Structure 1
Amino acid sequence: MDVLRSVFGYSAFRGQQAEIIDHVVRGGDALVLMPTGGGKSLCYQIPALVRDGLAVVVSPLIALMRDQVTALREAGVRAAYLNSSLDPNEAREVERAVARGELDLLYVAPERLVTPRFLELLDRTDLALFALDEAHCVSQWGHDFRPEYLQLSILHERHPMVPRIALTATADAQTRAEIAEKLGLGEARVFISSFDRPNITYRVVPKKTERQQLLAFLRENHAEDAGIIYCMSRAKVEDVAAWLNAQGREALPYHAGLPPDVREANQDLFIKGEGIVMVATVAFGMGIDKPNVRFVAHLDPPKSLEAYYQETGRAGRDGLAANAWMAYGMADVVSLRQMLEQSEAADTHRRVERGKLEALLGFCETATCRRQVLLNYFGEPFPEPCGNCDTCLEPVECWDGTVAAQKALSAVYRTGQRYGAGHLIDVLLGNATDKVVQQAHDSLKTFGVGKDLAKAEWQSVYRQLVAAGFLTVDIEGFGGFRLTDSGVAVIKGQKPVKLRKDPVQERRRGVHDALRRHVSRGGSAPGGSGGGLSADGVSRSGARGTLSPADDALWHALKDCRTRLAREQGVPPYVIFHDSTLLEMVASRPQDRVGFGRLPGVGGRKLERYADAFLEVIREQG
């Protein structure tokens, strides 16, 4: 507890942190599943400072290593990293510091760790513990598979008395079993925290004019905020970034096809800047420790709920209100199914991936609480609707779509199972287009039988039929729809179909001010490096109300002060203080160092370095 307060500036642990830390301090092995922003890092950082010797943290993410080491040094902790970003002289200096016993924590890439040179260095070093971060990388179904992770069992073989702690934010039961098996952690104590991120509002909207929908979302909810926008292709990333800049919003592209120096520069600008939007493929985001990402938007859906959870989890790491927004449409469903069916992977892999895709599509199409669907997927029952997703905030109306489904499926069958939604809807609406007439589809029994529904409604019907598996996509032809066995059962009247009505208009619900609602609750949130969550894990930022003009002026003045200090030291602003700490300054307005030292996130080192600068701003603002 002394280390938590004196070094990291928090007065209480949250969730299972204290239990995990005590177990590792006593020399026990642990497998820890904790959501992004849940305070995983403290679970090994505090034991590293309490136990004698060097703590070795294995991480595949260079950006995360750099950010965490920077933050630790700001807190007065002796930390360093070894990875490919260091030149040979810098790497040798770090190794000499290890040999001299001058470090408490050393972050190392798995490729470096398994080299004979580094293993011999560890053999000569007094070791406190091994922390294996992003442990899901050992799984063949993992998000970012790194083969070197499979060799990490060598640590226990060479140092059987040194405790190990493996950590991940995303792992289903299968992946957990693989982690335990391949890292030799069969006897480790397993700690599974709730996967719930209560501060994130989940929202999926029908894709119409996606760029205008995105722009409206940003202007209404996140006019000043940093965020990430995910797109499927590199070309789309660059197009969307350029378009946002043309609309007056600072945006940067990021994908694997950009020159490495451009990628690194854009990532650095995003991390150190305020209010910058990163438009990226999934190549971006792993290991980004920026806590005040206020939104994650998907213009194309990911391939699985694991990927969705991992990517949306990069929002709101500080525990303050954040948005996960996704635009999703017919073309996305067709594209995802085509990619899966065209895959040359083994049948066992395709079966697993098919199950993952079905779960994602079910999440997108659900009429029930999205958080319930998401958490149930990870094996965590969530008995009550969350009240903080679109289907809870604006309940979705469902209807008996059996007759409509029969019409839609019949149109597929009678046109020869060769056409996509556009042509089929023209047939149902009785639109005698050149193509309809040319194919003689205006003489079919289904021609004009769907005039009871509008074009947008039929698009919704077809999207849901494909998502639910009543239709599949012909990958050998031109992407036309084909009936599945379950689709045939619907036509024969053997299976009822329940459909959801897409919302006619997206509800405008601002979240930008929710960042500041934290203040109206008056009180800080105990926690670890993630900060921002109360002891029971509920976001403090959900209370009603916004800042007064005076408080708003102080908030911006404090941010300006933080930005200036960060630029002087060449570190990201959040390394100085998180937004949650600045909001506590607004709420409590400390007038001296004693009061300042009570703020969450203010440890002894930061009290000495920064108190005077921020106290001066508070006094100037009255």
Structure 2
Amino acid sequence: MGTNSTTTSRADPLALLQQVFGYERFRGHQQAAVEHVVAGGDALVLMPTGGGKSLCYQVPALAREGTGVVVSPLIALMQDQVDALLELGVRAAYLNSSQTLDEARAVERAFVAGELDLLYVAPERLLTERCLALLERGRIALFAIDEAHCVSQWGHDFRPEYMGLSLLHERWPDVPRIALTATATEATRQEIVTRLGLEAAAQFVSSFDRPNIRYRIVEKNDVRRQLLGFIQGEHAGDAGIVYCLSRAKVEDTAEYLCGQGIAALPYHAGLPAEVRARNQSRFLREDGLVMVATIAFGMGIDKPDVRFVAHIDLPKSVEGYYQETGRAGRDGLPSQAWLAYGLQDVVQLRRMIDESDGDEQHKRRMGAQLDAMLGLCETVECRRTRLLAYFGEASPACGNCDTCLEPPEAWDGTVAAQKVLSAVYRLWKERGQRFGAGHIIDVLRGKKNARIEQYGHDALSVFGVGADLSERDWRGVLRQLIAHSLLTVDHEGYGTLTLTEGSRSVLKGERQLMLRRESERATRVRESRPRAPVIELAPEAEERFVRLRAWRASVARDHGVPAYVIFHDATLREIARACPESLDELARINGVGERKLHAYGEAILEQVERPQGRTASGPPPEGDGKTWGGPAFSQEVH
């Protein structure tokens, strides 16, 4: 059994927050969670990406005697977090497969000697007898289980190795545990509690809202052109992530963007490990790169200045969509989540569920997750309201999503739906045949072609009854009928459409069906950015900001770390605005702790100094200055 005491602490948490991390006070549930863990209690913490989850275990690890052991799922995530902590003067290290034997042994010796404040370990390594024996020899302040949703078999990012982490409490019953995640429905939350043995743990659940992210979902119509227009028109020169469903599409899209003058890199599990590592490193360390990836590029993306996340294929679940879009705007500045999806996405994902190896319960669960995602896509209500409702959180209309800014038209699609369902029915009832969306639309629109004539479908009573709608309109109707479970994709893998139990009520006129129609304006590429920066800078302050960014880039290169490890853009913006004339004034800026003040203070003052003296750059921000709580600042420590 471990030797850690449940009560001893060595520093006041608030003092640590101020001196080490440079923030005047905690935000939201952070203080309660920190104090609970410092006192020896177990905790489950749910906070949105960028909401400061890391502080909830980093501060207690510094406040308690011993080393905080952090279970982290990715090597890149560990390395970046350790780099950032070392910059803050925190004694941090990691154990993973990227190290040589000598490097790993040096870390082990430091842990046993009590020379580490935080030790990051992958779950698969943690559960080895060698690592467990190592932990027995040291003093453990706490166990932090990051990305705790990985324990859920029904979640979007299940990791089997997380299932064994319940043994931590069995072997070290007196050591507090804190499990953290940025996304979990009530069902996933309960599974985390059960599988990790956290039934007695206090739960700290923050709002899932990311108000700085603008959500926008558009109908697919030449998606590569749409994506290019979105990036060029609204995010030229910005860092962003583009998610695709297949590896082939990742490579094709990255090549296409590069050909259009956009610096893009591919990332998927089929690439050699060294290529993935190199591309991820470049994305984290360089400005303005676009990463085109499958969801293999996921956890551990702590880059704070990702200005957009785009999906050009439909995500499989709302949880996955929320987690992926949450990688935008970690610094609190305006960012966008952009999704293009179409009928073929729905057909493909339905077919993938039907063809999966899971049992019927698994398929039903996957189907329910897809239905919720389709509901988000097809809603005529506020996207954010619908998204937060999925996580059990009530929210009024946000005013910062496409349906709020450019409300779609809701129209009575009952008759159109009856025409589609009748066509599907007659093809099967009269001819014993099933067809996909394209053929059904041709029948409805009365389009004669070789296939129509081959099967004699121009003789059907439904032939041409839908000539009043365009092919695009009919695709929208079909997509929404599948989303409403009034049509389904067959189980034989051919992508043909069949009726469901719910179809009858529509065919018999017992149910009215309101459908969504996009306005032409909503589908056009915008020419303006989503919103002005949170911290407006006067021209002279903007010049200081540019100098500070160039200085930061130089320091980051010398240290071999991403630029944001030195300082976030939000901190540099506030320095540029305030134009501090002394170290004391600089110390009052959010994100400038004692270590960074000592290491970089004089150099920063040199960058902001002007020969003719200080020039005012506008009024101070509202609020109490250094209090962490304004939307411009991220308290996430990487």
Give the structure-1-normalised TM-score.
0.93
Matching residue of 1:389: 401
Mean Cα displacement is larger for which, 350-359 or 582-591? 582-591
Matching residue of 1:28: 41
Matching residue of 1:122: 135
Matching residue of 1:425: 441
Write the letter of the residue equivalent to 1:570.
G
Write the letter of the residue equivalent to 2:435.
Y
CA contact (8 A) 1:231 1:281 kept: yes
Shift of residue 234, structure 1, vs aligned partner: 0.5
Distance in 1 separating the partners of 2:591 and 2:178? 25
Distance in 2 separating the partners of 1:616 and 1:437? 79
CA contact (8 A) 1:519 1:583 kept: yes
Secondary structure at the counterpart of residue 128 of structure 1? strand
Distance in 2 separating the partners of 1:377 and 1:37? 20
CA contact (8 A) 1:48 1:55 kept: yes
Matching residue of 1:526: none
Q: What aligned pairs does 1:329-478 form with structure 2 within 5 A after superposition?
A: 329-382=342-395, 384-416=396-428, 418-476=434-492, 478=494
Q: Encode CA deviations 1:565-607: one digit per residue, 9 max, x unaligned.
A: 1111110000011111111123212232222221111111111
Matching residue of 2:244: 231
Matching residue of 2:547: 557
Matching residue of 2:330: 317
Distance in 2 separating the partners of 1:398 and 1:90? 62
Q: Does 1:4 align with 2:17?
A: yes
Mean Cα displacement is larger for which, 324-333 or 467-476? 467-476
Write the letter of the residue equivalent to 2:293.
A
Secondary structure at the counterpart of residue 142 of structure 2? strand
Write the letter of the residue equivalent to 1:577.
F
Shift of residue 477, structure 1, vs aligned partner: 6.1
Shift of residue 406, structure 1, vs aligned partner: 0.7
CA contact (8 A) 2:156 2:317 kept: no
Distance in 2 separating the partners of 1:588 and 1:166? 38
Matching residue of 1:196: 209
Shift of residue 319, structure 1, vs aligned partner: 1.2
Write the letter of the residue equivalent to 2:57.
Y
Cα 1:231–1:477 change in 2 (3 A) is: closer
Shift of residue 284, structure 1, vs aligned partner: 0.4
Matching residue of 2:565: 575
Distance in 1 separating the partners of 2:320 and 2:96? 26
Write the letter of the residue equivalent to 1:339.
M
Q: What aligned pairs does 1:539-550 form with structure 2 within 5 A after superposition?
A: 547-550=537-540
CA contact (8 A) 2:419 2:466 kept: yes
Shift of residue 112, structure 1, vs aligned partner: 1.6
Distance in 2 separating the partners of 1:415 and 1:513? 47
Matching residue of 1:62: 75
Secondary structure at the counterpart of residue 349 of structure 1? helix
Secondary structure at the counterpart of residue 195 of structure 1? coil
CA contact (8 A) 2:553 2:563 kept: yes
Distance in 2 separating the partners of 1:509 and 1:44? 42
Q: Encode CA deviations 1:38-80: one digit per residue, 9 max, x unaligned.
A: 1000001001111111111111121111111100000000000
Structure 2 unaligned spans of 5+: 1-13, 616-638
Q: CA RMSD in A?
A: 1.6
Structure 1 unaligned spans of 5+: 521-546
Q: What aligned pairs does 1:254-273 form with structure 2 within 5 A after superposition?
A: 254-273=267-286
Write the letter of the residue equivalent to 1:385.
A
CA contact (8 A) 1:412 1:418 kept: yes
- How many residue pairs end up in the alignment? 594
Matching residue of 1:518: 534
Write the letter of the residue equivalent to 1:603.
G
Distance in 1 separating the partners of 2:441 and 2:198? 55
Q: Does 1:185 align with 2:198?
A: yes
Write the letter of the residue equivalent to 2:172.
H
Q: Encode CA deviations 1:487-513: one digit per residue, 9 max, x unaligned.
A: 232112122111011232336556757
Matching residue of 1:536: none
Matching residue of 1:304: 317
CA contact (8 A) 1:429 1:447 kept: yes
Secondary structure at the counterpart of residue 447 of structure 2? coil
CA contact (8 A) 1:222 1:511 kept: no
Secondary structure at the counterpart of residue 519 of structure 1? coil
Write the letter of the residue equivalent to 1:391.
T
Matching residue of 1:286: 299
Distance in 2 separating the partners of 1:562 and 1:27? 39
CA contact (8 A) 1:418 1:478 kept: no
Shift of residue 121, structure 1, vs aligned partner: 2.0
Shift of residue 147, structure 1, vs aligned partner: 2.8
Write the letter of the residue equivalent to 1:569.
H
Matching residue of 1:42: 55
Q: Does 1:89 align with 2:102?
A: yes
Shift of residue 333, structure 1, vs aligned partner: 0.7
Cα 1:477–1:262 change in 2 (3 A) is: closer
Distance in 1 separating the partners of 2:364 and 2:150? 20
Secondary structure at the counterpart of residue 47 of structure 1? helix
Q: Does 1:488 align with 2:488?
A: no
Matching residue of 2:231: 218
Give the structure-2-normalised TM-score.
0.90
Q: Encode CA deviations 1:423-475: one digit per residue, 9 max, x unaligned.
A: 22222222222222222222222222212222221111111111111111124
